[in-house]
Structure 1
Amino acid sequence: MKTSFLSQKPLLFFTMLMPLFLFAQDFQGKAYYFSKSTMELGSFGATMSEAQKKQIQERLKNRLEKTYILTFNKEESTFKEDEKIDAISGATDSWGKNFSPGEQYKNIKTKTLLQRQEFYGKQFLIKDDLLSVNWKIGTETKKIGQYTCFRATASIPSSDLAWYDFSWDSLRNREQKKDSVGDAIIKDIKMTDVVAWYTPQVPLSQGPLEYWGLPGLILEINVGGTTILCSKIVMNPEEKSKIEAPDKGKIVSKQEYQEIISSKMQEMRDNRGRQSSRR
């Protein structure tokens, strides 16, 4: 049950904050997350039976449900997917992998993001600044496992949250922008509301994906039709992992990577169009 922070006893807050400020320099932890997304079928879904919808959801389960591991210390973290085998095809989702977040490294001291991305067999290393998030911290709390969490909200440009993804709508928007005369036309920036739940019991400014910047580890993120929830935290595991910044792949910025994706998908679309016209 959710309660107001103002109703919590001072002793609880003191107990939450005190222990983890005393971590040794080589402190490390691991957080395991489960991500689940809803599938929007739009007008197409209105013509389908419930059995057909369920069948599609089963076939796309690898894209709609994922597990991740966040390995962190005081300043750095790596975040990567724990890949599963598709129960139907017996393979990983190779098409979806082109538009999914790759292994990610965050350094909150230097505010640097490094992310590996594979796009149609080519390796890229995206190097950019950490996502700038203007969090609004609330007083509402809830329990996630044994951790008391506080609610925070933010409104973030949608394009900043899924720069590694692709949609035909985004390609059309880019083409319309190129067709405009000059830079006088400024379109409204689409924003996405994000709700985060963080715990001061783990006083590290880390979280899943690009989310960070709160006074505690983020254990839950709700954005659009996706929920990312922490299922387990392991503090100072016996077998420590080396947290290293990736260094392989063609170095590009987020914007450059988006341009590469759009250009490739436009090329594929044009090639299909030419092949169809020859038939």
Structure 2
Amino acid sequence: MKNLFISFFTLGASLVLNAQDKLMVNYESRMEVDADAMMKQFSANSTSNVDVKQFEKAILESMTRPTYYHLRIDQNESVFQQEERIQNEQPKEPGGVLVVMYGGGTGILYKNLQEQQSLRSQDAFSKSFLVRDELKKYDWKISKESKEILGYEVRKAEAIIDSTSSIVAWYAPKLPYKNGPAEYQGLPGLILELEVSRLMDDSPEKTIFLAESISVDKNQEPIKKPTKGQ
């Protein structure tokens, strides 16, 4: 029904959505790590002559520095991509070390929920690659716990990935897009916050995505699959 409009008014947040509307969602992502465990592991494996303590601190600061992404979605397709922001940071202490780390999220991730397929465009070793895969399916356990994000009521869901990894997601039932950041989806509402916990070499770490803004995408161009790469 092309003329069907759905209005959402929840705790001060409102979007008037047409069934065919696309959304643009901006996320901040950050890591939380066990600093003591990470520093201990680094010190044990380090063979460098640099000031180990200073280098450890620089790595920790770099790992926990926030990164930013945008997710463009419709009811069936999405493109998730890191935003490029200029880093003008300097060492916090005179003569200190500044380490800039780049994760694997600098490519483009396309998802098609109807076909249950993903396509990732990624640059590595001076080459461009396209990696096709099936969408991961998560055995979500939905709880009655709720809170508010950006004025929307969100509900909690949890899933186990494997023996060392788990997910906590907060999704908005009144934003009926069964999608979310990165490779996560499959809930009855848009995921506005996501926490992925992992145990890496006995050192716990978390990757967190939190929606900063949601808007109707005024770009009328259809969502397109990435084509760059082998």
TM-score range, shorter chain: 0.7 to 0.9
Is the Cα–Cα contact under 8 Å of residues 146 and 155 in structure 2 kept in the other structure?
A: yes
For the residue of structure 2 that corresponds to 1:248, the secondary structure is: coil
CA distance 1:191–1:85, change in 2 (3 Å): same
Matches within 5 A, 1:219-258: 219-224=192-197, 225-235=206-216, 237-250=217-230
Q: Give the corresponding residue for 1:120.
A: 125
Which residue, 134, 137, 156 being the options, matches 2:161? 156
1:246 deviates by: 1.2
Is the Cα–Cα contact under 8 Å of residues 20 and 203 in structure 1 kept in the other structure?
A: no
- Point out where structure 2 has 5 or more consecutive residues left out of the alignment: 1-7, 45-50, 91-99, 198-205
Is the Cα–Cα contact under 8 Å of residues 139 and 150 in structure 1 kept in the other structure?
A: yes
Which residue, 18, 23, 27 being the options, matches 1:29? 23
Q: Identify, as 1 or 2, the structure richer in strand.
A: 2
Which residue type is aligned with residue 40 of structure 2?
Answer: S
1:245 deviates by: 0.8
For the residue of structure 1 that corresponds to 2:102, the secondary structure is: helix
Is the Cα–Cα contact under 8 Å of residues 21 and 203 in structure 1 kept in the other structure?
A: no
Q: Give the corresponding residue for 2:80.
A: 79
User: Are 1:43 and 2:50 counterparts?
Assistant: no
CA distance in 2, matches of 1:118, 1:156: 26
1:38 deviates by: 2.3
For the residue of structure 1 that corresponds to 2:40, the secondary structure is: helix
Cα deviation, 1:62-121, whole Å, max 9, x if unaligned, reads x741100000011100000002222247xxx6x735x33521001111111001111111
Q: Identify, as 1 or 2, the structure richer in helix.
A: 1
Which residue type is aligned with residue 206 of structure 1?
Answer: N
Is the Cα–Cα contact under 8 Å of residues 20 and 202 in structure 1 kept in the other structure?
A: no
What TM-score, normalized by structure 1, do the two folds share? 0.61
CA distance in 2, matches of 1:36, 1:214: 22
| Alignment RMSD (CA, Å) | 3.0
CA distance in 2, matches of 1:22, 1:145: 17
1:50 deviates by: 8.5
- Point out where structure 1 has 5 or more consecutive residues left out of the alignment: 1-13, 158-189, 251-279
Is the Cα–Cα contact under 8 Å of residues 153 and 194 in structure 1 kept in the other structure?
A: yes
Identity %: 33
CA distance 1:119–1:50, change in 2 (3 Å): closer
Mark the structure with the bigger radius of gyration: 1
Which residue, 124, 140, 150 being the options, matches 1:145? 150
For the residue of structure 1 that corresponds to 2:84, the secondary structure is: coil
Q: Give the corresponding residue for 1:96.
A: 102
Count of aligned residue pairs for this structure pair: 195
Cα deviation, 1:182-235, whole Å, max 9, x if unaligned, reads xxxxxxxx3311100000110110100010000000000011222110010002
What TM-score, normalized by structure 2, do the two folds share? 0.74
Which residue type is aligned with residue 128 of structure 2?
Answer: Q
User: Are 1:194 and 2:189 counterparts?
Assistant: no
